[in-house]
């Protein structure tokens, strides 16, 4: 089953941060965007349009037609359950061995195992937010 893919998790993560805080993370970018230009999307088309202009390189397969955006509070434990069929399909793939197709995003190996400066910390923070927000853990 084709999955959602984001090829620039840094840009995607900054877009998530912008939606979550209402403060644009793109005001110093080229081109720059204010928070007003990047409101929480109400449809997949809006989401795709925003992802495109910030350069997230987002691909959403045709079978995905719905959008749910959830923001929870700090005093709530949110456990996101992945889609059953996707989880089972991935388990079946992993059991086959060989080419698992289960690769870690490359930013992990870029930043792991060494001290990071402030810029790098913010970079990896955005990448991780981008990764766990979009991936379905399966």
Partner 1 sequence: MHGHPFSGPTQLWWGKGARATRPRNIFFDLGPSGVPPPSDMFRAGGLIDEAGNVVDRARLHRLMATIERRTSSVPEPRDNRNLPSGYTYLLQFIAHDMVDSVPFFGISGHTIVPDARNARAVPLMLETLYGSGPDEVPHAYSVTQHQEESGLIPRIRLRTGLRAPPTSSHDPSPEKDPYCPFRDIARNTAQKTADGQADVSSRLTEVMLADARNDAHALISQLTILFQLLHNHVISLIENAIAPFEETLRLPTRELAYREFQCARMVVVLIYRNIIEKDVLARILDKRVHQRYVLEKKPLLDHGGGLPQEFSFGAFRFAHAIVRESYRLNSFSPVGVTEEALRRSALQAHFGELPIKPNWFVDWAHFFENSKGIEPNFSKRISPRYPAALSITPTEFPEKVEGVDAGGLMHRDLLSAAFAGVLSVRALIRIAQEKGIEVIDDFAAWETRLRGWLSSVGQLFNPNDVSRIAKDPPLPFFVLFEAARIGRSDEADGGQRLGPLGSVILAETILGSMAGHPLGVQGDTLKERIKVCGEVLFNTQTGSLASPASGALPSAVCAALNEIDEIEGMTALLDYMERANAFAQN
Residues in region 32-61 near partner 1 by CB under 8 A: 32-33, 37, 49, 52-53, 55, 57, 59
Helices 9-21 and 118-134, packing angle to 10 deg: 80
From 61, 64, 91, 106, residue interacting with partner 1 (rule: CB under 8 A): 106
Q: How many CA atoms lie within 13 A of 46 on its CB side?
A: 12
Query: Binding residue for partner 1 (CB under 8 A) from 76, 98, 115, 117?
Result: 98
The reply to whether omega before 31 is within 30° of 0 (cis) is yes
Using CB under 8 A as the criterion, which residues of the chain lie in contact with partner 1 when the complex forms?
A: 7-8, 28-33, 37, 49, 52-53, 55, 57, 59, 98-101, 103, 106, 109
């Amino acid at each position: 089953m084709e999955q959602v893919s984001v090829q620039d998790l840094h840009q995607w993560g900054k877009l998530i941060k912008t939606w979550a805080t209402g403060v644009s993370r793109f005001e110093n970018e080229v081109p720059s965007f204010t928070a007003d230009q990047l409101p929480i999307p109400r449809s997949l088309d809006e989401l795709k349009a925003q992802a495109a202009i910030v350069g997230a390189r987002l691909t959403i397969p045709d079978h995905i037609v719905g959008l749910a955006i959830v923001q929870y509070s700090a005093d709530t434990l949110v456990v996101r359950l992945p889609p059953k069929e996707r989880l089972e399909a991935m388990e079946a793939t992993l059991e086959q061995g060989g080419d698992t197709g289960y690769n870690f995003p490359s930013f992990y190996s870029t930043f792991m195992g060494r001290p990071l400066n402030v810029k790098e910390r913010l970079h990896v923070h955005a990448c991780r937010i981008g990764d766990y927000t979009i991936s379905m853990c399966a």
